[in-house]
Structure 1
Amino acid sequence: MKPTSNIIEKSEREQILNLYKELLRATSSFRHTQDARLIRKALNVLVNEEKQLSRNNANELYLIESLEVALLLAKEIGLGRTAVICALLYQPVLQKEITEEEVRSNFDEQVATITTGMVKVAELYAKNTSIQNENFRKLMLTFAQDIRVVLIILADRLRLMRNLNLYSREDQQRISSEVGYLYAPMAHRLGLYAVKSEMEDLVMKFTNREMYSFIAKKLNETKRDRDQYIYSFIKPLKEELSDLGLKFEIKGRTKTIHSIWNKIKNQETEFEQVFDLFAIRVILDSEPKNEKAECWQVYSVVTDKYQPNPSRLRDWISVPKSNGYESLHTTVLGPENKWVEVQIRTERMNEVAEKGLAAHWKYKGVKGEKGMDEWLANVREILENPELNAIDFIEDFKLDLYDEEVFVFTPKGDLRRLKKGATVLDFAFEIHSEVGKKCVGGRIGNKNVPIKHVLKNGDHVEIMTSSTQEPKKDWLNIVVTSKAKSKLKQSLREMQYKEAELGREMLIRRLKNWKHELTDQLLNQLVKFFGFKTNHDFMRAIAMEELDLVRIKEFLEKEDKKEQEDDRERSAKNFVAEEEDLPDDDVLMIDRNLTNVDYKLAKCCNPIFGDDIFGFVASSGGIRIHRHTCPNAYDMKTKFGYRVVRAEWTSAADSVYQATLKIIGNDDIGIVTNISQVISKEPKVKIRSLAIDSHEGTFEGTLTIFVDNIESLNLLVKKVKNVKGVHSVSRIGAS
C-alpha cells in the first residue's frame, strides 16, 4: 500500500521550487516562444496545489519525482521539449488528473502518443510484469513505438536507482536486478554510456555492497599515485599537441567500480594487479570537415611518444557503431611499462558518446542514425512475431545489447552491421528470411565458404541458395544474431506445426480403425507412457515415423484389458493424496493472501530461522523458501519475478535447521579437534558431518550442522573464526 501524506513539508516545498527553477534554466537553450509556453503549461498541470499530494512507495511526492526525471532528461540525456513535457505530464495522466484527450488538444499528437506509451508501461508494471512474462513483450513493443519512451524510462530508472536507499531491502534487490539485467544493457545499446555506467555502479552498490565498498575504498587510497601517473603521462603529449596548433582537452578518467570488478573477476586477480584503472581521453575542438584528420594526427603523436599495442587499435571513426558511437581507441605502453588506454574523439563525438541517441537530434546527419533506425526496426519486427514467446524474445533481444560489431558488405557494396562472431547464415537472414531459409553457403572473394563460416570486417559476402534447402534445428548453434535466431525459430516452429498436424491426422485415422476416439485424456496417457514432454512432440514423432503406431495399438489393448479387471477393485484409497511433512504452520507466513500453502526449505541455500527470505512458486507445485543471498536468487527474481511471493518467519517453535559451513585454515595438528570442541560446547548446535581435505599445508573442511536460528549460527561462526589457525569460515549456499 502506498504511503500517503496530506502535508507537504517545508523542505519539500523548497526542493520543488529549486527543481522548478533549475528545469527552466536547463531548458532555456531550446525554449523558443512556443516551446516556452508549452513547457510552462505542462509545469502548471504538474504543479497544482490541489492535486500534488500523491506519493510513491518511498513516500516521495510524484511531483518531485516528475521534476527530477524531466531535469535529468534535459541536462544529462539532452532531450528536447517533447520528452521533457511528456515526463511532466506522465504522472498527472496516470493519476487521472488530466485525460489523454486533454493532452492531445492542449499539446500535440507526439506528446499524446509518448505519454500514452508511458501510461501503458506503468499499467504493465502494475500487473507485476516480469522479464519472462508475456506482458514484458507488450512492454518492449511500447518501447519500440517511439524511442523517446525508452529514453524517458531509462531516465526514470536512473532517478529511481539514485534514491533506492529509501526503499525496502526487498524492493532494492528486485529493482537492482531488473536494472542490471535489462536497462543498463539497453542504455549501452542506445549509446548512453554515462547512464549505463552509473546504473551498473548503483546496481553493484545494492547487490554486492561489500565488494563495491572495498573497490571504492581502494580507489580513494590510490588516488594520489594515480593522479601523479596521469600527470606524467599527459604532460609530454600536451606540449606536442599544443605545438601543432590543435585545440584540445586532455584528461584522465578513472574507470567505473563495476568495470574494475569485472576485470578482477575475468582476470582472476587482485585489485592491486589491475593496472588499467583509468583511461586517457583527448577531446578535440575540430571543424566537422577536419574531425577525422585531426583525430588521426593525435593518434600519430600518441604512438610516436608511447609504444602502441597493434592488436588493441579500435577505429570507430571510419565506421561508427550502429548506436552512433565514434572514437579512436588505442592502448600504449606508458611510464613504468604500464599499459594505458587512450581515447581520441572530437567534442561532437564525445557528446554523442555520453548522451547517445539523444545527441543525434542535435547533430543531424551523423553516420550512426541509420544504424539505430535499422536496429529499432529489427526490434519491432521481432516483437510483432506472434509465434515468439516472451522467454525466447528476451534472450534473443539481450544478445544484441552489449556485443561488439563486425562490418561486412553485400555484392553491391552496401554496408551491413552484424554482431561480432556472425556467420554466413546470419548474413543470409539479415538480407531476408527467405534467403536465410534456403541458404546453402556463401562466397567471399573467390572462395566458397560454408554457412557456419565466421565473418570478418570488410568481407564482401554473396549468399548461395537452393530451392530444396530447408531450415534445420542445428542451425540454432550456428547463428548468433537475434534476428537470425528469431526468424529461424519461427521457421522451425512452422515446419514442426505442419508435422504435428500430419501426425494427428494419422493417429485419428488409426484410432478410428481400432474403435477408439482421440480424447484429451487418452492423449495425455499416450504422451506420458511413451515419454514425450508435450503433445506436439508426440504427434511429430508419429509423422516422422519415430514412433511405430503398432506400439500405440498394443498399449490400447493392454489398457482396455486392465480397465476391465480394475473396475471391480476400485476403492477410495486410489483417490487419497499422500501428505508431505511440512514445517510447523506457525514457523512461516507466506503471502498474507494465501492459505494452506505447501512449502519446503530450498536445499540450494538451506534457510535458517532469522534469514532474510522469499518464497518461489515451484513448477512442480508448492512454494520453496530461499534466502535473498541464495546463488539462484538473482535469476529467479529477474527471469521469473511473477513467481516470487513474500515470506517471513513468525516464531521459531521447536524447529531445527541444517546449515553447511566451509572452513579454511592451516593444516596443524589438533586444529580439527579444537574446532570440534568449540562446536560441542554450543548447546543449540549439533554436528551432522565434518569432511576434511588437506593439501600443501592447508585444510578445507565442510561442516554440516543443525541449529535453531541464525543468531546461533552467527555466534558459532564467530567462535570458529577465533580458533588459532583458521583463516576463514563461510556459509555455503550464499551468492
Structure 2
Amino acid sequence: MNVPNTSITPEERLEILRSYRKLLRAAAGMLQSQDVRQIRKAIETTLDKNGVLRLPSGKPSVLHSLEVARITVEEVGLGKTSLICALLYETVRQSAVSIDDIRKQFGEQEANIMDGLVKVFDLYQTNASIQSENFRKLLLTFAQDVRVILIIVADRLHTMRMLQHYPREEQETISAEVSYLYAPMAHRLGLYSIKSEMEDLVMKFTNRDLYKFIAKKLNETKRARDKYIREFIEPIKEELKKQDLKFDIKGRTKTIHSIHNKMKKQKVEFEQVYDLFAIRVILDSELKNEKADCWKVYSVVADKYQPNPRRMRDWLSVPKSNGYESLHTTVLGPENKWVEVQIRTRRMDEVAEKGLAAHWKYKGVKGDRGLDIWLESIREVLENPELNAIDFIDDFKLNLYDEEVFVFTPKGDLIRLPKGATVLDFAFDIHSEVGKKCVGAKVNNKNVSIRHTLQNGDHVEILTASNQAPKQDWLNVVATSRAKTKLKQALREIQYKESEIGRETLIRRLKNWKLELNDQLTGLLVKHFKYKSVHDFFRDIAIERLDVVAIKEFILNQSRKDQERELAENAPAVRSAENFVTPPADSEENNDGDVLLIDKNLTNVDYKLARCCNPIFGDDIFGFVSVSGGIRIHRTSCPNAPDMRSKYSYRIVKAQWTGEAGGSYLAAIKVVGEDDIGIVSNISQIVSKELKLKMRAISVESHEGLFEGTVTVFVNNNQILSSLIKKVKGIRGVLSVSRIDGVSS
C-alpha cells in the first residue's frame, strides 16, 4: 500500500503501514483481493483529497480507523462486513467516499451500517457527550443493526487506550461516558474482556492515585501469587489427565477495577481482599458432552478442595441472557485461601470473550434467544415517543441488568427477569393488559401481593380483576424496563381522559356563570394555582382536588384588578420629593483575592463546595451549575462525577485553585485498627500538637477487638490532609486510614 506524504511525518507513514499490515494478517482469509484493492484505494483517496485529519490525541485519524478495524476482527470477532465499515468510517466522514459509493462497491449491508456510524458521528459533533434526546437517537441507530453498537464499542475501546494523549478535560468526559454507557453495554453484549479493560482504563483516568496504588500492590505480590497458582493447579492437572480430558488450565488476576469494588464492598484494605485471582479450566469437548465434562471437572476440583456452597454459580443449565455459559465455584485452597474456579468449554470461552459475534457463530445452541429478546425490549422502549429523555435513559439502563432470576408460568414455560423483579413485573412481561388488571398472584400455591419479589424457581400464577386499574405508586413496585414503559403509557392514557373530563367540567360551569374559557385565561389559572402543566390542572378539577368555586373567585378578583389598573393608568402621575435618596451606583466586587477560578468567562460567581465529596485546596476539581443558578465545586473523583458528566455535561464548567491556600476546609478520615485504650489520645496528639490542626469531631466504635473511628478536621490544603493520613497510618495498631468523601458541615 502506497501512503502519500500529505501532511504526515515519515514516522507516521511507517506506523500507518505497520497497522495496515497487522490488520491484513488479522483478516487473513476474510477479504478477497478485490476487497483489499477497494479499501486501499478508498484510504489513499482520503489522504490525497483532504490531507490527514487528526484526532485530539494528535494521531492521524486513518491510523485510528485501522486499529478499530483490527479490534472488530481480533477482539470482537466480527467478519468482513464490519471490518470494511470500521475501516472506511473516516473516509466517509471526510467525504472522500459517499454512502452511495460504498453501496455500489461493497453492497447494501455495508452502506446501511456505514449510514448508522455516520449518524453516531453527527451526534458527537452536536455534543461531545451523549445525553437527553441525542441519547435516544444514538440508541435508535444502534437498534437498526447491532453491528453498529459493536463497531462503536471497538472505537471507544481504542480511544480509551490512547486517552493519555488527550487533554485532561476530554479524558474525564470520555471516561465518564464509557463508564456510564459503553462498559455496561459491552458487558450486556457478553464482551467481558473489553468491559473489564474499559473499567480499568476509566479508573486509570478518573481515580489515578488509587489505580496506581492497586497496580503497584499487584506488581509487588505477583511472584508469590504465581507460585500459589502453580501449587493450586498441579494436583487438579494430574487428576484431569487421569480422566482423559483435553484441557487448558490457567490462573488470571482480577482486574484493578474489580479489586477496587471488592475493597469498597467488603470495606477492607488491599491485603484483606481474599480472592485476587481466579483459576479457569477450558475443555476441548464435543457439543453433546459439554455439560457432563464440565461437571466431571467440578467433581475433581471439589474432591481436592472444599467448595463454598454459597458461592456456586450454575450458568450451564440456564445460560445468562447474553449467552454466557460457565460453571463457577469458590473453594478453600492451600493456606486457607479462597480461590474462584471457572469451568467452561472452548466454545463457551469464545462466547464469553467475544460475546455477540461468537453467539451468532454458534446459532442454535440453547440460550441463543437471550440477546434477541434484549434487543427487542430495547426497540420497544425506543418506540415509545412520549417517554421523556431522563426516563428514557433510566429505562435503557434497566435493560443492562446483569443478575437474573428464572421463574415458571403455570404451563411450565421459563421466564427470565432481572434480580429484584416483582409479581407485577411478571404480569407485564406476560401482557400489558394482564399487568394493568393484576391484583396479586399465587406463588408456589400461596397468595401474595403485587409487591412480592420473585426468587429463582418460583411457579407463578397471576390473579386479575376486571375493575382493577393501574396506579401511580406501581412505578415504585416494578423493576423492569418493559413494565415501567407499559405502566407509564397506561397512566398517561388514564390521566389524559381525566384531563379531558376536567376541561369539559370547567367549560360547563363557567358557561353557567356567563364566563368563557380561553387559552389566555387557562395560562393565568395554571400559573396562579401553581401547576406544572395544563393537563395536571384539568385533571385535578376532574378528581375534585381543585374546587371550581375557587377558580370563579380568582377570575372575578382578576377582573376587579384589571378595572382598578385601567383607572390608575388614566390618573396623572404624582411623586413626592420627601426623603428621596439617589440610588447608589452598582459596585463591582474585586475577585483578585478569590482562591478559585471558575471558567474564563465568568465573574462574580456564587459558588459552594459540594458536600458529597468535600473538595480541599489542591484537589482536582470542576464546577457544576446547580438548578438555583450557583456553582457547586466537586472533586473530579467525586462518586457523582460520572453521572453528572454523562447526563448534564452542558452544566459542567472548568474550575481550578488559584494563588495560595487560604481559609480552612472541612475534611474527614476513617481510621481502622486494633482496639487500644490510648489510640484516641495518639490520634488527637498528631492532629492538635504535631500538625496544629483544629479538630471538629472524633467518634470511635469498637467491635470484636477492632475499632473504627471518624476524625473530622479543618485543613488548609490536600497536602496537609495527606500528611495527616500518613502520620496516623504510622501509629502502632492502626491498620488502615482513608479519606471520607461526604462530610456534613
Could you state the TM-score of these two structures normalised by the residue count of structure 1?
A: 0.87
Q: Distance in 1 between matches of 2:214 and 2:727?
A: 29
Q: Distance in 1 between matches of 2:336 and 2:686?
A: 45
Greater CA deviation, 445-454 or 255-264?
A: 445-454
**Residues 515 and 704 (structure 1 numbering): CA distance in 2 closer, same or farther, change over 3 Å?**
farther
2:656 is equivalent to residue 659 of structure 1: no
Shift of 1:440: 2.5
**Residues 535 and 234 (structure 1 numbering): CA distance in 2 closer, same or farther, change over 3 Å?**
same
Greater CA deviation, 636-645 or 661-670?
A: 661-670
Q: Distance in 2 between matches of 1:278 and 1:715?
A: 34
- 2:53 is aligned to 54
2:325 partner SS = coil
- 1:489 is aligned to 488
Greater CA deviation, 417-426 or 607-616?
A: 607-616
- 1:426 is aligned to 425
Greater CA deviation, 540-549 or 348-357?
A: 540-549
In 1, are the aligned partners of 2:608 and 2:631 still within 8 Å (CA)? no
Shift of 1:258: 0.7
Shift of 1:46: 1.9
2:319 partner SS = coil
Supply the AA of the counterpart residue of 2:696.
A
Shift of 1:132: 3.9
Structure 1 residues not aligned, in runs of 5+: 680-688, 706-711
2:173 is equivalent to residue 168 of structure 1: no
In 1, are the aligned partners of 2:250 and 2:280 still within 8 Å (CA)? yes
In 2, are the aligned partners of 1:324 and 1:366 still within 8 Å (CA)? no
In 2, are the aligned partners of 1:161 and 1:202 still within 8 Å (CA)? yes
Matches within 5 A, 1:622-637: 626=634, 628-630=636-638, 632-637=640-645
Matches within 5 A, 1:2-41: 7-31=7-31, 33=32, 36-41=33-38
2:107 is equivalent to residue 108 of structure 1: yes
In 2, are the aligned partners of 1:666 and 1:698 still within 8 Å (CA)? no
**Residues 317 and 662 (structure 1 numbering): CA distance in 2 closer, same or farther, change over 3 Å?**
closer
- 2:605 is aligned to 599
Supply the AA of the counterpart residue of 1:189.
R
Matches within 5 A, 1:519-530: 522-523=521-522, 525-530=524-529
1:44 partner SS = helix
Matches within 5 A, 1:384-533: 384-514=383-513, 518=517, 522-523=521-522, 525-533=524-532
Q: Distance in 1 between matches of 2:306 and 2:719?
A: 56
Q: Distance in 2 between matches of 1:424 and 1:188?
A: 27
Matches within 5 A, 1:238-277: 238-277=237-276
Identical-pair percentage: 60
Q: Distance in 2 between matches of 1:306 and 1:672?
A: 49
Q: Distance in 1 between matches of 2:306 and 2:118?
A: 55
2:322 is equivalent to residue 317 of structure 1: no
Q: Distance in 2 between matches of 1:104 and 1:318?
A: 44
2:48 partner SS = coil
Q: Distance in 1 between matches of 2:511 and 2:616?
A: 58
Supply the AA of the counterpart residue of 1:600.
D
**Residues 569 and 403 (structure 1 numbering): CA distance in 2 closer, same or farther, change over 3 Å?**
farther
In 2, are the aligned partners of 1:382 and 1:393 still within 8 Å (CA)? yes
Greater CA deviation, 277-286 or 367-376?
A: 367-376
1:368 partner SS = coil
In 1, are the aligned partners of 2:422 and 2:477 still within 8 Å (CA)? yes
Greater CA deviation, 50-59 or 149-158?
A: 50-59
Q: Root-mean-square deviation (CA), in Å?
A: 3.6
1:602 partner SS = strand
- 1:73 is aligned to 72
2:619 is equivalent to residue 619 of structure 1: no
- 1:194 is aligned to 193
1:406 partner SS = strand
Q: How many residues align?
A: 705
In 2, are the aligned partners of 1:283 and 1:344 still within 8 Å (CA)? yes
**Residues 338 and 580 (structure 1 numbering): CA distance in 2 closer, same or farther, change over 3 Å?**
farther
Greater CA deviation, 186-195 or 213-222?
A: 213-222
Supply the AA of the counterpart residue of 2:627.
S
Select which of 34, 39, 42 maps to 1:42. 39
1:260 partner SS = helix
In 2, are the aligned partners of 1:309 and 1:331 still within 8 Å (CA)? yes
Structure 2 residues not aligned, in runs of 5+: 671-678, 702-706, 732-736
Shift of 1:300: 1.3
Shift of 1:251: 1.2
Greater CA deviation, 616-625 or 564-573?
A: 564-573
2:540 partner SS = helix
2:606 partner SS = strand
1:8 partner SS = coil
- 2:552 is aligned to 553
**Residues 10 and 387 (structure 1 numbering): CA distance in 2 closer, same or farther, change over 3 Å?**
same
- 1:708 is aligned to none
- 2:212 is aligned to 213
- 1:683 is aligned to none
Greater CA deviation, 616-625 or 299-308?
A: 616-625
Supply the AA of the counterpart residue of 1:30.
M
In 2, are the aligned partners of 1:599 and 1:622 still within 8 Å (CA)? yes
Supply the AA of the counterpart residue of 2:608.
A
- 1:682 is aligned to none
Q: Distance in 2 between matches of 1:57 and 1:613?
A: 22
Q: Distance in 2 between matches of 1:457 and 1:718?
A: 48
Shift of 1:413: 3.6
Shift of 1:644: 2.5
Q: CA offsets, 1:431-488, max 9 Å, x none?
A: 2222221222334454444323333333343333333221112222221111111111
Q: CA offsets, 1:379-398, max 9 Å, x none?
A: 01111110111211211221
Q: Distance in 2 between matches of 1:617 and 1:166?
A: 28
**Residues 621 and 567 (structure 1 numbering): CA distance in 2 closer, same or farther, change over 3 Å?**
farther
Q: Distance in 2 between matches of 1:729 and 1:197?
A: 25
**Residues 520 and 257 (structure 1 numbering): CA distance in 2 closer, same or farther, change over 3 Å?**
farther
1:385 partner SS = coil
- 2:734 is aligned to none
2:282 partner SS = strand
- 1:538 is aligned to 537
Supply the AA of the counterpart residue of 1:9.
T
